[in-house]
Amino acid sequence: MTNKKSFTRRNLGRATVAGAALIGAPLPLRYGFAQSPANLKVALLLPTSGGQALIGQACKRGADVANDVLADMKIAAKLEIVNYDTESKPDVSRTQAEKAIEAGAHVLVGAFDSGQTIAIAQVAEQRGVPLIVNIAAAPPITESGYKFIVRNFPTAPMLIGGAFNLHKETFKASGTTPKTAVLLSLNDTFGTAMIGGIKAMFPKFDMPYELVDIITYDAAAKDLSVEVAKAKATKADMLMPVCRLNDAKLMIQELVKQRWEPMAVMNPGSPGLYEQDFLKTMGKYGEFHISNVPWLDPKSAMTTSLEARHAAKFPNDQLDINGGFTFEAMLIAAHAWLAAKSTKPEALMEALRKVKIDQHVIIGGPIQFDAKGQNVGIKAAAVQNLKRKPTVVMPLESAAAPLVFPEPGWNDKRRV
């Protein structure tokens, strides 16, 4: 009777579930057990809901695989990452930062948006807890004299300067230089800051082309036919878009409709063209455009690990710079903790100021911070859409594929 009882259908089911859980224990858990005990508590503050939810979630994915990649790279640190949603609002960001510190966070990481980051920065500064900024380009974040903040993301002038240098490198490598360019930009916070920066920096960089016009459009525009027609009328050789995802799609659709085939669609440091949804939606018309932005170094072993881990955990999502920079923020926290050998805020901050990380994922020199807490070693890369994937083509030392410049016409056979 006893034997019969132990083989009931219910017991068999339980045994199967337990066995499957044991055998199929996810890899991250195994690596986690192999690493040192988690005692650096990192609060990750991101807009995972609200207007910036998609980008916030892309950032979070980079952090979700951080412990696995650290294990792959034999970095003996395991982070306890606790997620906090800022709801894309500065007031919520501030409250969430207070909550995180009260819950015992040793380091704060966030928050993609400048307004939210500043709100968190104040709490970090007042409570003396280090904040590692993953993404936020507003210069005041590191220009306000904060003592507990480091930023591993370029400021708007750094983005533009890097893009201008890459433009020159691209022309030199291809042997083709456009004589004129037109800037087509949205007029939101980011777009206006970029236009201001471009106007100020263009003369200083002695660019080989003339900027014949700057055309702006509303961030909520549903049709860009007039703006594209105006840009086409300038007969510029090159189109420089400063855009986000949806307007990037509208813009390219109009270019195709109006049969305008500029030598290149090459942005001066903006999102939109390299994004997963853009590539999926635009198909062959999304190919060959170039984005000049910080990017993952395809020749770094850590990038290979990050890409593999990301692909395994999120097979339907593309790893981009949002995930890349957020992963790097985790990497910085881990290095600081290993150097400080303590979770005390002052010790961690001291370690952050002295940190020098040679092996990381974003193209550029070692991660280290200047006196203001800014990493000035981040380099931009020219990322060209090739075979539905943003691919680094410049600088040459990091290139994963040869550059295609000028880009083929809309009906060219190379567009498949």
CA angle 322–282–220, rounded 5-degree value = 70
CA dist 168 → 97, 160, 173, 377, 397 (Å)? 42, 13, 9, 19, 16
User: Does the protein bind another protein through residue 26 (CB under 8 A)?
Assistant: no
Give all strands (DSSP E) within 190-310, no chain letters: 210-217, 238-242, 264-265, 290-293
Q: What is the per-residue burial (b if ≥16 Cβ within 10 Å, else e) of 62-92? A: bbbbbbbbbbbeebebbbebebbbbbbbbeb
User: Does the protein bind another protein through residue 257 (CB under 8 A)?
Assistant: no
Parallel/antiparallel/unpaired status of strands 107-110 and 131-133: parallel
User: Does the protein bind another protein through residue 102 (CB under 8 A)?
Assistant: yes
User: Among 31, 72, 99, 281, which residue interacts with another protein (rule: CB under 8 A)?
Assistant: 99
When the beta carbons of 187 and 300 are compared against another protein, the nearer one is 187
Please, which of residues 115-134 interact with another protein by CB under 8 A?
A: 115, 118-119, 121-122, 125-128
The stretch near another protein (CB under 8 A) out of 20-28, 73-81, 92-100, 395-403 is: 92-100
User: Does the protein bind another protein through residue 155 (CB under 8 A)?
Assistant: no
Residue with tokens 């105006």: 230
Assign residue 29 a region: left if phi > 0, alpha if psi is -120 to 50, beta otherwise? Answer: alpha
C-alpha count within 13 angstroms, C-beta hemisphere, residue 184:
29
Please, which of residues 170-189 interact with another protein by CB under 8 A?
A: 187-189
Residue 403: both structure tokens together: 């550059």
User: Does the protein bind another protein through residue 220 (CB under 8 A)?
Assistant: no
When the beta carbons of 146 and 209 are compared against another protein, the nearer one is 146
CB of 57 to another protein, least distance (A): 6
User: Does the protein bind another protein through residue 351 (CB under 8 A)?
Assistant: no
The stretch near another protein (CB under 8 A) out of 28-36, 96-104, 264-272, 328-336 is: 96-104
Closest CA to 193 of 270, 127, 260: 270
CB of 255 to another protein, least distance (A): 26
- Positions touching another protein (CB under 8 A) are 48-50, 53, 56-57, 83-85, 87, 89-92, 94-96, 98-99, 101-102, 114-115, 118-119, 121-122, 125-128, 138, 140, 144-148, 187-189, 191-193, 196
